[in-house]
Amino acid sequence: MTFLKNIIGLIFRGLGLALKYIFLTISSPVWLPFWLIAYLVEHIAFVRNALIATDLYLPFKNMERTPLRFALTVFAIFIAFLIYGALTAFDNAMNAGVDLAADDRLVTVNKINFTQTLPIAYAQKVTAIEGVDSLVHMNWFGGYYKDPREQVITFAVDQTKLLEVYGDDMLLDETHHKNWLRNQQGLLVGELVAKKYGWKVGDRIPLNSNIFSKMDGASVWDFVIEGVYSGKFKQADTNGVYFHYKYFNEALAFGSNQIGWLGIKTTDPSINEKVIKAIDDMFVNSPFETETVPEKAFNKSFIARMGDIGLIVTSSVSAAFFIILVIVGFSMALAIRERTNEIGVMKTLGFTSRRIFKMVLMESMMLACLGGTVGLAASSFVIKQVTSSPQFPLAGLMLNGEIIMQAIILMVFLGLITGIVPAINALRLNIITALSRR
Amino acid sequence: MSGKLLYDLKSVSKTFVKGKEKITIFDKLDMSIAEGDFLAIMGPSGSGKTTLLNMLGGVDQPTGGEVFFNNSRVDTLSEGQLARWRANNIGFIFQFYNLMPMLNAARNVELPLLLTKLSSSQRKKSVETALKLVGLSDRATHMTSEMSGGQQQRVAIARAIVSDPKLLLCDEPTGDLDRKTADEILSMLQLLNRKFGKTIVMVTHDAAAAAYAKRTLHLDKGVFVEKDLAA
Amino acid sequence: MTSIFSQILTVMMMNIRSLPQRFWMSFSATLAISVVVAVLLSFLSMSKGFEKTLEGAGSENTAIVTRSGSKSELNSVLSNDIVNIITAAPGIAHNAAGQPIYSPELFVIVDGIRRSSKLKANLPMRGISSVGFELRSNVEIAEGRMFEAGKNEIIVGKAAQREFAGFDVGTEVRFGKTIWTVVGLFSTGGSAFESELWADTRTVQSQFRRGNSFQTVRVLLETPGDVQGMVDLVKQDPRLVLDIQTEAEFFSEQGEALSGLVSIGWALSIIMSLGALAGALNTMYTSVSDREREIATLRAIGFSNISAFFGTLVESIVLSILGGFIGAIASYLFMNGRTTATMGGNFTQVGFSFEMSPELFQDGIYLALIIGLVGGIFPAWRAARLPVILAFRGGV
């Protein structure tokens, strides 16, 4: 009986040990860097002296003295900044259209709602208005590729004018452009779409429309890919697909000679107001009243119509930060309380209260910055992984300087908030009460 | 008594208020300590010996009277000034060693030097000297939590002398140690007093420990009493 | 065996009695868990509420006809001829006069100003006839009156009125050149239709220049759920490129629009849980190290290490379930019944309310329980393995 018990005990102990080392091996990418830093600080005189000179040595030693608590706290902060980085980058990418909007571009839509159409004749009329450099009319096609869930953002456009208005954003091979203009069934495809479906120039592909059918009743439209364009900026949206309005209009079973909206380029951003007024005044008494707005405003309003993505992002990030604030704050307070006696000794040795105050604050700051930096790096890694997938439709998903700056401010803020109460307690701590506490 | 006057307490009082009660620990106490003295202070619990030591160390302030150290007043210094004064002039040795658990022996000894403007090589030299003096050169990189009580107290002594203060204040330095180890520690203090001229004030319960001192004062209810007759 | 339980109970009581010493630390872990649970439940109750609103709109008695592949009412277009052909299909209920009961409807989008954001959003406007009213269960005019055929009058759904500014009964609204008068407020028992504006079919056709076309046709079925007769007709007649679904089916597909939100909610809460877990572990390790001496003393006088293990584990679980309850109750108090609107399948805003249910509540408690279990098991392991010798050690 005891023999069996011993055997079982041995097995369990062996299993425990094996688990421990397996865990240590798996988690080595996490703890190894910290271990390395701790080792460097202790054994490389230069690093240590630099820390001593900046009075960060003792805060650092205090921070990593209980490795488990240190690891858990850093991990909690890490999570908060991981969420922050990923969600803010996502929010930014969603709003990239607003940032990238050109100042000299306007959008004219039906005043009732942008899903209502305008007569094709409007394009000619607006071209004549002074200050309009060029314009292109566009229709939402409601395209999808084979499966209705595989939506392709497809527009029927005045092919001759597309690049005159949007050429500043699109990079396109000159011969491809010419070929596309020549072929009425030609399709101009954005880089991201081409990547997603593996399309190449010369491919024949069918697109369906969930709105329009052809006169013969078919909802399949045949196209030949004549060009693939890429964005001039990293965040540029290359999810769009363009084809000839003529092909569209001539095949339509209903609703022909209607356009969705006008994209307009003005001769100078400073005259935007004047051009907007001229356009809208022109149609004020017609059955199709228009509303013209700068591209930036249009994109912003379009995103707002999609729902409160920004709100969801901010509330999630705030919730994450609140949790981490509470956890780190209380564990900092606990750590300092446990060190009451030591702080008393330090003060006795001649460390001034101000210096100890600073040390405690530095410790919480280091924790916040360490966890924050690693979290931000991790979110950048996650973003890289996600965006490298060809299925991913969002081009501008990345950590930009603004997000990183904000993150640094957040780290300092987190460090301050979590450290300030323990630091004040340490500042106020009376040597005699501290030393008689044991 | 020999040498010049190091410490002079002139009619020092200490009272504090506990609830509605006013408790007097010292009333107009006079005391002087010469340079090179090794003074043991004995007395029962509550006699005020720890408060006296705290006052000498500048961690507690008298409520009346004047305190002179090297002919300058210290009881009127601000908290920050006192901290700097302590760093320059006083070395502390505690009953429970009070070493920093996250630092190894050498780093613990180095701690007071972080308050000075010494370069890292100067600091390293001072630490080595201090550790050699207490006989722990070979343990410099050990963590103090792995050391015996006697070794820890020796690290604490090294820490107290590393910045070469004039005065060492010891609060029951052998209270947590066995007899043999206590004797080693006390001999070491004696050596520091005799060979290196450190002035030492030691509070203790233990008459055997007090025997290492040059003289012993008995404190009872805030007053020095002659006990030599009884002993 | 009973002694084991009484031992565990003793250790537990000891832990709980010493809780006040660690109050703030335990409090922080509990709070963190409650926030995680609240976040999860907010997401889940949002998508649940959205789903319920859309599903409430669908009936098994009614079939909806859309152009094939359009997937939403907005994208569908049906000419008058198509409407006439399909409504002659078998399986459609007839009235006393022998006419099939159907309602051809228009669906257009107009701009409205959201009350919450003061920004423009897409508002659905439906051209409807009196038959359309009969096809929808529990439509009620809550205020004012029904619109009159041929006049520029609209009635406004309760949710649309709640979420959008400027649709009080008696006010005039302008869409393009046309001015419409709001003559009534209607309710449909909380379903998605309440987010719409309704007006007379013919008037909408003429004012929005839709000729004689429609977006969809709703028909009353002879047998609830049976659309086979119509589907067969579509198969036979090449002119009919149509999808036939019961209304219930149609809307349940649209209700899935926010199912992505459920995944996001879970993903986010699980990542946040890891943060809260760090807090729980921290708390429990502190709890064990605070009581090292007591645990060792109990072991010394003969308590088993099993009791030390479970005593600690139970403390962690109690704290986390407490946190879970606080989070669930908080999200119930703050979220349940809260209304909002978001983009639905028709490219228009659908107003809905957050909907908490016992199942969601359960999900929240499970999440808290897992955090408590994982957060307690490692510290409990440490407690069980504390050397008994600690009890005899003096000093610190």
pLDDT tens digits in sequence order for chain C, 396 residues long: 567 788 888 877 877 777 777 787 788 889 989 988 998 898 888 888 888 888 888 889 999 999 888 878 888 889 899 999 999 999 999 998 889 999 999 999 999 998 888 888 889 999 999 899 888 878 999 999 999 999 999 999 999 999 899 999 999 998 878 899 999 999 998 888 999 999 999 999 998 888 888 999 999 999 999 999 999 999 998 888 889 999 998 888 887 767 777 788 888 888 888 888 888 888 888 888 877 888 888 888 878 888 888 888 888 899 899 999 999 999 988 888 788 887 777 778 888 888 888 999 999 999 999 999 999 998 988 888 888 877 665 443
Q: Say yes or no: C196 and C338 in one domain.
A: no
**A279 and A148 in a common domain:** yes
Instruction: Report whether pLDDT(B229) > 70.
Output: no
B100 in contact with C, Cβ within 8 Å: no
* Inter-chain CB pairs, A–C, below 8 Å: 145
Q: Which residues of C touch A320 (CB under 8 A)?
A: 268, 272, 275
Cα–Cα–Cα angle for A77, A80, A84, nearest 5°? Answer: 140
Distance from CA of A320 to the nearest CA of C (A): 6
pLDDT at B226: 66
- Mutation pick from A52, A429, A431, A433 vs chain B, by most beta carbons of B within 10 Å, is A431
CA angle C225–C229–C234, rounded 5-degree value: 115
Nearest Cα of chain C lies from the Cα of A59 at a distance, in angstroms, of 20
Specify the DSSP element, H or E, that contains C362.
Answer: helix C358-384
In a domain, B72, yes or no: no
**Distance (Å, whole) CA A203 – CA C173:** 50
A142 and A279 in a single domain? The answer is yes
Residue A180, classified by CB atoms within 10 Å of its CB into exposed (0-12), middle (13-18) or buried (19+), is buried
Q: Which tokens go with A430? A: 């009376």
| A205 neighbors A146 (Cβ within 8 angstroms) | no
The residues with which C182 forms a beta bridge, in sequence order, are C154
pLDDT at C70: 82
Give the pLDDT mean for A389-417: 85
The tokens for A30 are: 């996490």
**Cβ-based neighbour number of residue A9 at 10 Å:** 10
Alpha-carbon gap: B8 to the closest alpha carbon of chain C (Å): 36
Structural domain range at position A206: 117-287
The verdict on C75 and C151 lying in the same domain is yes
For residues A415 and A321, state if they share a domain.
yes
Cα C216 from Cα C67, distance rounded (Å): 8
Chain A residues touching residue B86 (CB < 8 angstroms): 348-350
- Name the residue facing A432 among B54, B86, B88 (closest C-beta): B54
Beta carbons of C278 and A289 less than 8 Å apart:
no
Q: Is residue C247, in this structure, part of any structural domain at all?
A: no
Residue C300: what pLDDT? 81
The answer to whether C200 and C153 have CB atoms below 8 angstroms apart is: yes
B95 close to C (CB below 8 A): no
Residue, of A438 and C110, whose pLDDT is higher: C110
Nearest-angstrom CA–CA distance, B154 and B133 = 9
Can you give the CATH number for the domain in which B129 is found?
Answer: 3.40.50.300
How many residues can be counted in chain B?
231
**Best CA proximity match to B8, nearest among B25, B36, B41, B30:** B30
The number of domains in chain A is: 2
Is C24's CB within 8 Å of A333's CB?
Answer: yes
Specify the number of domains making up chain C.
Answer: 2
> C395 contacts in B (CB within 8 Å)?
96, 176
Distance (Å) from the C-alpha of residue B50 to the closest C-alpha of chain A?
Answer: 10
CA distance A437 to chain B (A): 12
Q: Is residue C64 part of a domain?
A: no
- For residue A432, give the nearest of B60, B114, B159 by CB distance: B60
Considering only residues A424 and A313, tell me which one the structure prediction assigns the higher pLDDT.
Answer: A424
Shared domain check, A131 and A62: no
Mean pLDDT of B89-100: 90
Structure tokens at B99: 């070493």
Residue B163 in any domain: the answer is yes
Q: Do B83 and A438 touch (CB under 8 A)?
A: no
Shortest distance between the Cα of A201 and any Cα of chain C, in A, equals 27
Task: Answer yes or no: is C7 within a domain.
Answer: yes
Task: Classify residue C13: in a domain, yes or no.
Answer: yes
Nearest to A115 among C209, C276, C347 (CB): C347
| Least confident among A168-182, A203-217, C141-155, C218-232 | A203-217
- Mark A65-102 as b/e (b = at least 16 C-beta within 10 Å): ebeebbbbbbbbbbbbbbbbbbbbbbbbbbbbbbebbb
Is 70 exceeded by the pLDDT of residue A24? yes
> Is C192 found in the same domain as C310?
no
State yes or no: pLDDT of B148 exceeds 50: yes
Chain A residue with the nearest C-alpha to that of B117: A53
> Exposure string (b/e) for C114-146, b if CB count within 10 Å is 16 or more?
beeeeebbbbbbbbbbebbeebbeebeeebbeb
Report the residue of chain A nearest C272, measured CA to CA. A320
CB contacts, 8 Å: B96 with chain C: 395-396
Residue C342 domain-assigned (yes or no):
yes
The mean per-residue pLDDT over the stretch B213-221 comes to 89
Is A113's Cβ below 8 Å from some Cβ in C? yes
Kindly state the tokens that stand for B192: 């520091």
Q: Which amino acid is at A106?
A: L
Residue A31 belongs to a domain: no
Q: Which residues of chain C are within 8 Å of residue A80 when distances are taken between CB atoms? A: 275
Question: Are C275 and C200 members of one domain?
Answer: no
Q: Which residue in chain C is spatially nearest to A309 when comparing CA positions?
A: C342
Helix (H) or strand (E) holding B24: strand B21-34
Pair (C101, C24) in one structural domain: no
Contact: C342, A304; criterion CB under 8 Å: no
Which amino acid, one-letter code, is at A325?
L
- A112 and C122 within 8 Å at the Cβ level: the answer is no
Q: Is C216 within 8 Å of C66 (Cβ atoms)?
A: yes
Beta carbons within 10 angstroms of residue B179's beta carbon? 10
Helix runs in A236-308, H state only: 245-251, 272-282, 295-306
- Whether residues C191 and C270 share a domain: the answer is no
- Interface list for chain A against chain B, based on CB atoms closer than 8 Å: 45, 48-49, 52, 57-58, 61-62, 64-65, 341-342, 345-354, 431-432, 435, 438
What residues contact A44, with CB distance under 8 A and at least 6 apart? none
Residues 6 or more apart from C196 whose CB is under 8 A from it?
A: C123, C124, C125, C126, C157, C160
Shared-domain flag, residues C198 and C309: no
The answer to whether the Cβ–Cβ distance between A349 and B86 falls below 8 Å is: yes
Q: Which residue carries 């410099």 as its tokens?
A: B140
Gap from B57 CA to chain A (nearest CA, Å): 8
Which of B86, B88, B96 has its CB closest to that of A348?
B86
Strand order in the sheet with B38-42: B90-93, B167-171, B199-204, B38-42, B215-220, B223-225
Chains with 3 or more CB pairs closer than 8 angstroms to C? A, B
Closest CA to B90 of B123, B45, B128, B59: B59
Q: Helices A67-94 & A401-428, crossing angle to 10 degrees?
A: 150
- B176/C395 CB distance under 8 A: yes
Question: Residue C252: inside a domain, yes or no?
Answer: no
- Say if residues A187 and A205 touch (Cβ distance below 8 Å): yes
Residue C67 · residue C241 · CB < 8 Å: yes
Collapsing DSSP states into helix, strand and coil, what is residue C140? strand
Residue B20 lies in a domain: no
Indicate if A138 and A207 belong to the same structural domain.
yes
Q: Which structural domain range is residue C187 located in? A: 69-240
Q: Predicted confidence band at A67 (pLDDT cuts at 50, 70, 90)?
A: confident
Kindly report the average pLDDT of chain A as a whole number: 88
Clarify whether residues A279 and A143 are in a common domain: yes
Considering the domain architecture, whether residues A398 and A264 belong to the same structural domain is answered as no
C195 and C285 housed in the same domain: no
What is the 8-class DSSP label of residue C147?
P
Tokens at A400, concatenated: 């930009």
Tokens standing for residue C185: 């407020």
| Chain-centroid distance, C-alpha C282 | 35
Q: Do C75 and A142 touch (CB under 8 A)?
A: yes
Question: Are C122 and A72 in contact (CB < 8 Å)?
Answer: no
Quote the tokens at residue A37: 């830093």
Chain C nearest C-alpha distance from B16 (Å): 29
Residue A69 at interface with chain C, using a CB cutoff of 8 Å: yes
Structural domains in chain B (count): 1
Distance CA C336, CA C42 (A): 9
Q: Which amino acid is at C120?
A: K
Contacts with C216 from chain A: Cβ below 8 Å: none
Cα C70 to Cα C255: distance, rounded to the nearest angstrom: 16
Query: Could you tell me if residue C253 is inside a domain?
Result: no
What was the pLDDT predicted at B227? 60
Contact C69 A331 (CB under 8 A): no
d(CA C163, CA C95): 38
Same domain, A74 and A200: no
| Model pLDDT, residue C224 | 92
Whether residue C41 sits in one domain with residue C16: yes
Domain that holds residue B199: 36-61+77-225
Verify that A257 and A184 share a domain, yes or no.
yes
Specify the pLDDT at position B1. 47
What ipTM score was computed for the predicted complex, to two decimals?
A: 0.88
Residues C176 and C211 in one domain: yes
Structure tokens at A414: 């987190």
- B176 at the C interface (CB within 8 A)? yes
- Minimal Cα–Cα distance from C207 to chain A, Å? 9
Q: Are residues C45 and C149 in the same domain?
A: no
Q: Does A111 touch chain C (CB under 8 A)?
A: yes
* Residues of chain B contacting A64 with CB distance shorter than 8 Å: 102
Supply the angle between the helices C2-17 and C292-300 in degrees, to the nearest 10: 150
Tell me how far apart the alpha carbons of residues A59 and A364 are, in angstroms, rounded to a whole number.
Answer: 9
Element of type H or E holding B30: strand B21-34
* B96 touching chain C per CB within 8 A: yes
- B79 and A353 in contact by Cβ < 8 A? yes
- Output the CA torsion A166→A169→A173→A175 (10° steps): 10
- Is residue A218 situated within a structural domain? yes
Which residue pairs, CB below 8 angstroms and at least 24 apart, start in A124-130?
Answer: A125/A282, A126/A262, A126/A264, A126/A279, A126/A282, A129/A275, A129/A278, A129/A279, A129/A282, A130/A275, A130/A278
What is the distance between the alpha carbons of residues A266 and A105, in angstroms, rounded to a whole number?
A: 6
Please name the residues between 148 and 167 in chain A that touch chain C, using a CB distance below 8 Å.
148
Across the interface, do C275 and A76 touch by the CB < 8 Å criterion? Answer: yes
CB-nearest to A345 from B84, B98, B102 is B98
C396 → chain B, closest CA residue: B96
Whose structure tokens read 């090292």?
A: C292
The verdict on residue B135 lying in a domain is yes
Pick the closest to residue C369 from C331, C330, C332, C325 (CA basis).
C325
Spatial separation of the C-alpha atoms in residues C256 and C250, rounded to whole Å: 11
Provide the shortest C-alpha distance from residue A358 to chain B (in Å).
14
Contact: B176, C396; criterion CB under 8 Å: no
Spatial CB neighbours of A134, under 8 Å, sequence gap ≥ 6: A127, A161, A164, A165, A264, A265
**Chain A partners (3+ C-beta pairs within 8 A):** B, C
Model confidence band, residue A9 (pLDDT cutoffs 50, 70, 90): confident
**Residues of chain C positioned with their CB less than 8 A from the CB of B176:** 395
Q: Are both A141 and A281 inside the same structural domain?
A: yes
Q: Indicate whether C248 belongs to any domain.
A: no
Domain co-membership, A145 together with A261: yes
Q: Is residue A296 part of a domain?
A: no
- Give yes or no for a contact between C56 and C189, defined as CB atoms under 8 angstroms apart: yes
Strand, helix or coil for residue A68: helix
Q: How far apart are CA A261 and CA A164, in angstroms?
A: 16
